[in-house]
């Protein structure tokens, strides 16, 4: 039996004001200048992503606007399904804080590549362990709903790292060490007996963008 094939795309860069704070699940805007500069990447994704496919987006505007940019770049427009379970890690009461204000609130050391440690759960928010569990549940549901189909998910760096961690069965610490750039492509496959990771952080305009 053929697998369910997931194509996970991280949203385009957000604006400078948002990058100055811990925005998590805040509904911040994309950076129009960066989005214009990323037009070649959007065109490459429009060529690279499979047709037909089921499209899923997180509830946050930056994911939906990124999907729209890919449609405008040449992918036939569809109406994506909004999936709350694929949103970014919630930082709870820490959302909106300037980065410099965070260290005093942490209960443990931050991760080398993330503002919080892998087990840190902000007040009213989620730890990376929580995100892996949440995203894993959603991926299993989507795999059952769309068996033997292609599923494009436009979402967030934290959720994509969580998806890879779930597929590989690794913990949150190693997951936070994964690089997931804006407008990068990560591919997973769900077979009846196992998950397979095809690629992580592929840039669609690179030579690796073709099938190998």
Whether 208 contacts 24, CB under 8 Å: no
We report the CATH number of the domain holding residue 80 as 3.40.50.1240
pLDDT score at 106: 97
Whether 144 contacts 170, CB under 8 Å: no
C-alpha closest to that of 109 among 97, 101, 118, 117 = 117
**Structure tokens of 143?**
């795999």
Does residue 94 sit in helix, strand or coil?
helix
pLDDT score at 142: 98
Q: CA-based diameter of the chain, in Å? A: 52
Count of residues in the chain: 212
The Cβ of residue 169 has, within 10 Å, a number of other Cβ atoms equal to 10
Q: Beta strands 195-203 and 184-190: pairing type? A: antiparallel
DSSP state, residue 200: E
What's the structural domain count of the chain? 1
pLDDT in tens, the chain (212 residues): 799 999 999 999 999 999 999 999 999 999 999 999 999 999 999 999 999 999 999 999 999 999 999 999 999 999 999 999 999 999 999 999 999 999 999 999 999 999 999 999 999 999 999 999 999 999 999 999 999 999 999 999 999 999 999 999 999 999 999 999 999 999 999 999 999 999 999 997 654 443 32
**Structural domain containing residue 58:** 4-209
**Structure tokens of 208?**
């690796």
């Amino acid at each position: 039996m053929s697998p369910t094939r997931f194509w996970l795309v991280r949203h385009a860069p957000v604006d400078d004001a948002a990058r100055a704070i811990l925005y998590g699940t805040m509904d911040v805007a994309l950076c129009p200048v960066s989005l214009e500069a990323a037009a070649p990447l959007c065109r490459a994704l429009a060529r690279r992503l499979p047709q037909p496919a089921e499209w899923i987006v997180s509830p946050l505007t930056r994911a939906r606007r990124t999907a729209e940019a890919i449609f405008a770049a040449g992918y036939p427009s569809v109406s994506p399904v909004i999936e709350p379970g694929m949103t970014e890690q919630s930082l709870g009461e820490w959302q909106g804080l300037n980065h410099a204000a965070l260290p005093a609130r942490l209960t443990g050391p931050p991760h080398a590549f993330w503002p919080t440690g892998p087990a840190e759960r902000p007040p009213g928010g989620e730890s990376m362990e929580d995100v892996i569990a949440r995203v894993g549940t959603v991926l299993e549901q989507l795999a059952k709903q769309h068996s033997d189909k292609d599923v494009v998910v436009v979402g967030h760096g934290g959720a994509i790292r969580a998806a890879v961690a779930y597929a590989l069965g690794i913990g949150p610490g190693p997951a936070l060490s994964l690089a997931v750039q804006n407008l990068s492509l990560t591919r997973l496959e769900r077979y009846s007996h196992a998950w397979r990771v095809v690629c992580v952080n592929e840039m669609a305009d690179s030579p690796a963008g073709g099938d190998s």
